[in-house]
Structure 1
Amino acid sequence: MPEEQVHDAERDAILAALGPVVDGIAATFGPVCEVVLHDYRRPEKSVVAVAGEVTGRGVGGAMSEIGMRVLAQGDEAADDLNYVTRTGTGKLVKSSTMVLRDSTGAVFGALCVNVDITAVNEAHALLGALAGLVSGAAEPPVTAFGNDIDSVVDAILDAHRLGRNESWAGLGRAERLDLFRGLDEQGVFAVRRAIEQVAARLGISRATAYSYLSQARAATDPTPAGGHA
């Protein structure tokens, strides 16, 4: 059996073994908890198991922008624990993303735990107000969750300059490169057809989008000309 098929069989076995874990964690923490198992070999439909309902995704759903960032980091990705974000519907969510590796150390998926802490946060704010305490905590970032990968890519675009109603024509070259660099760092271009979607959203050709992506990557490549990666 070819080596890659052996690794794929191993990855499939790990995902299958984690199925009961997904259900067990969600059952332990109750209705405020959601556990999502991702297979990054299929970025557009990465959700292979889900228990609970916090972000509204189901099996066959897409990864979030958090998953895209993990995908962009490749085998250098690390666990991201106890971070807080807000969904598009206003839920405050505390999450942990734990990467999955095969026996070679290659990252191929993630186990994510999302806990809806909206009610807890509201109770905390009420108790703080009663005690005369003023909270100066920063507002958590909004994270796009959806079953459709296109909607996640659109949300990431909106969070960049396009969200401030700036047109492609109104951006200078450095700003355009910065836009593509930011999208690339968030793992957008690891998703199939994303380059076409970004090009259509910006009103440019696919060739132009590929050109800017190539230039953005070249500008951040630490390998000197003629050197070895």
Structure 2
Amino acid sequence: MKREQDAILAALTPVVDGIVATLGSFCEVVVHDFRRPESSVVAIAGTVTGRSVGGSMSEIGMGLLARGDQASDQLNYVTRTKDGKLVKSSTMVLRDSAGTMFGALCVNLDITAVTQAHALIGELAGLAAPTGAPTTTFGDDIDSVVAAIVDAHQLDQGKPWAELGREERLELFRTLDERGVFAVRRAVPQVAARLGISRASAYSYLSQARSGSDTSQEQQA
């Protein structure tokens, strides 16, 4: 199946340039190889997210990776980049003839200017402003993506690691696991460093989160 998967990725490589040439400078098209999440970008055209070949997947890709063969296309969702761009995207899952999910074709459109114009017209017409979009980390460095996911989850909880109860800590690790963070090599040590705990504690929390155990002895951070 590896040859078939490689052939599909190779066939899509020239397609990205054609789509961007058709849709223009506000478009970016990316081909991802999920077999190597740390450097999943195998082809890219356009500059919406600033990534390059050899770059990493975003949180969206990690979520698909976590769902494996059960993953489905994510169409017409809107996120915000770190530098404030509003991006409308569709991510189409790539499968081989056996149905194995191994990559994705992603189309990103920078709709910042369109959204600003819409907001202005809406204000003049007395309409409510559109709701905000979640911030997504795009980059060539997978470590920055992992760090952003950990930080975002801690912000959602509203308190630092030291103030979390045992179940809250396990829930954090469950959430990170469900979002595909631990499919990335070196993710556990990085998460441990981000939280200020030992690697042994991080591995213990991950094991307990996956097993659903309520009786395992909690290690001290």
- TM-score (norm: length of structure 1): 0.90
Structure 2 counterparts to residues 133-148 of structure 1, below 5 A: 133-135=127-129, 137-148=130-141
Contact 1:157–1:163 (8 Å) recurs in 2: no
Does 1:107 find its partner at 2:109?
Answer: no
Task: Give the whole-Å Cα distance in 2 for the aligned partners of 1:88 and 1:66.
Answer: 15
Aligned equivalent of 1:194, options 187, 199, 211: 187
Distance 1:199 1:162 in 2: 17
Superposition deviation, residue 131 in structure 1: 1.8
102-111 or 159-168, which deviates more: 159-168
- Percent of pairs identical after alignment? 72
**C-alpha separation between the residues in 2 aligned to 1:212 and 1:203?**
14
The amino acid across from 1:16 in the alignment is A
Partner of 1:180: 173
Report matched runs for 1:1-229 at 5 Å: 7-135=1-129, 137-161=130-154, 166-219=159-212
Report the Cα distance in structure 2 between the residues aligned to 1:26 and 1:216, rounded to whole angstroms. 42
Amino acid at match of 2:150: L
Runs of 4+ in 1 over 6 A off after TM superposition: none
Q: Which amino acid aligns with 1:191?
A: V
Number of aligned residue pairs: give it.
213
Q: Matched residues in 1 for 2:128 and 2:47: separation?
A: 32
Q: Secondary structure at the match of 1:96?
A: strand
Distance in 2 between residues matched to 1:165 and 1:76, nearest whole Å: 32
Alpha-carbon distance in 2 for matches of 1:161, 1:133: 34
Given that 1:34 and 1:113 are in contact with CA atoms closer than 8 Å, whether structure 2 keeps it comes out as yes
**SS of equivalent to 1:31:** coil
SS at match of 1:177: helix
- State the superposition RMSD in angstroms: 1.4
